[in-house]
Amino acid sequence: MIPLPADSWLWIVDDELVRSLFTAAPGHPGLAARAAAEPALVEAVRHWLRGQSAEALSALEPALAKDDADALVLGAQLSFETGDLARAAALYSRLAGCVPDHPFAAFNEGLCRLRLQQWAKAAEALQRAVVLSPSHAEAWHLLGTSLLHLERQAEAASAFAQCLSLRPGYVPAICGQAAALQMQGKAAEALALYLPLLEAAPEREEILLNALRAAVDAPDWPQVRRLAMRVNALSPGSLLAKEALAYADFAEDRLEDALAAFRDLAAAAPAFLEPWYQMGVCLFRLGRYTDAAGAFRSALQLDSRRLEARLALAESLRLAGRLEEAQATLEAVVESPEAPPAAWLRLGLLHAEAGRWKEALRTLDNALQKGATEADPDLAALRAATAALLQDREDYARAAELYQLALAVRPEDPVLLFNYGSTLASLERMEEAQAAWKQALELDPSLAPALIEALEPQPVRNHSNGAA
């Protein structure tokens, strides 16, 4: 007796023979499993074996129209081989619908979707794949990659961890796990994963660059310098290494060095905003406010939506004494419905410095409506400045309220305490005033002369018998 081959696709060799045998032995389960469900499938396979992919796909259409499982497998494979990933994914999806427990339909669909960057559909297919085959390490890896692109970092990290439990030391999964950690703000943990990989493969530039980025985010400046040197050794003149070293210089207050590095980066890549912005920050820290304003303007020419650059420009102009330009810059920002509280607060401070108490109060209200937080130091500063204006106008009740709110953020500001005490005294709340003055003097004894002068009785002219 000749045993039947184990291959369930015996019909690929000769379907007519299989069908002839099946006619002679209709009850034979092995023959039934080996007969082609669709005659079109035989023709398609023969074209495929000759390398005639287009003809194979054309011949396969009648079988595909009937959702024949073997036809769907072959059609998906042919589509994948010819680069039609979208059709391959769709056919694998249909196969999974016809045969829900098919061993590789969901995985192959996920692979196609991933290559098409259809991250959500890829993740959905690969989640089905790992349920069907929990020990499939590559499925867990691809699932993690898809989830990472969907910014579902915690789930991605879990998928990569599952992959590594099945395939310890698998470098792509370790890199994926590190990327997930870095996206969650756990740069130091990510760096700890990259460093052993670098020890094992010091020439792997991709891992080295990822490690350098993680070191900057950590921030681990000694490690940044070591890794940047290694990057420069592999790629002399690397812009990433230069940028990382510039950030290290800035963090360590080597501002002139950082400024020079950011200048070089701006010259090498003038279309990138970040070097111009960082140049502005360095110049601002160095007290060169006019130059800082120029750098921030250059950054805004590249991206006018960069809010922090616009706010930094306004602050640089203010400190450079160009108050009208600073005010115009901030007014342009607050015209937008999405203007943040910070813009309103800075504009309010400009109004307060110019003595415009009504405008200061209005912008203060707008900042609060926009969601300014009580702990914001700019909010405290605006309240204090507006309170001083109201105090000068003898509006002591509102001034005292604003001083009190400012002191909640700056409780040890002696000038604030002194002014608060003076306002309370004007409201004849002397016990509270004395407590505030006492605290102010404990913090700054040099305020004593001003307090003595404030408490000195004012001279009163004596009118007697109506004579002057």
**Phi, psi values for residue 272, rounded to 5°:** -95, 130
Residues whose CB is less than 8 angstroms from the CB of residue 217 and which lie 6 or more positions away in sequence, other chains included:
182, 187, 190
Three-state DSSP at 28 gives: coil
pLDDT, position 58:
87
pLDDT, position 466:
39
pLDDT, position 43:
77
pLDDT, position 56:
83
pLDDT, position 465:
40
What are the residue ranges in the chain where pLDDT is below 50? 1-15, 17-19, 21-22, 31, 34, 460-468
| Whole-number Å distance between alpha carbons of 194 and 178 | 7
Largest CA distance in the chain: 148
pLDDT, position 24:
54
| Exposure b/e, 40-73, CB count within 10 A at least 16 = b | bbbbbbebbeeeebeebbebbeebbeeebebbbb
pLDDT, position 325:
95
pLDDT, position 29:
55
Omega prior to 219 cis, within 30 of 0: yes
Cα dist from 284 to 252, 292, 320, 464, whole Å? 16, 5, 10, 64
pLDDT, position 453:
84
Closest CA to 432 of 442, 441, 444, 420: 420
Which residue shows structure tokens 């045998």?
A: 21
| Whole-number Å distance between alpha carbons of 95 and 105 | 6
pLDDT, position 272:
92
Let me know: does 208 contact 231? Beta carbons within 8 Å. Answer: yes
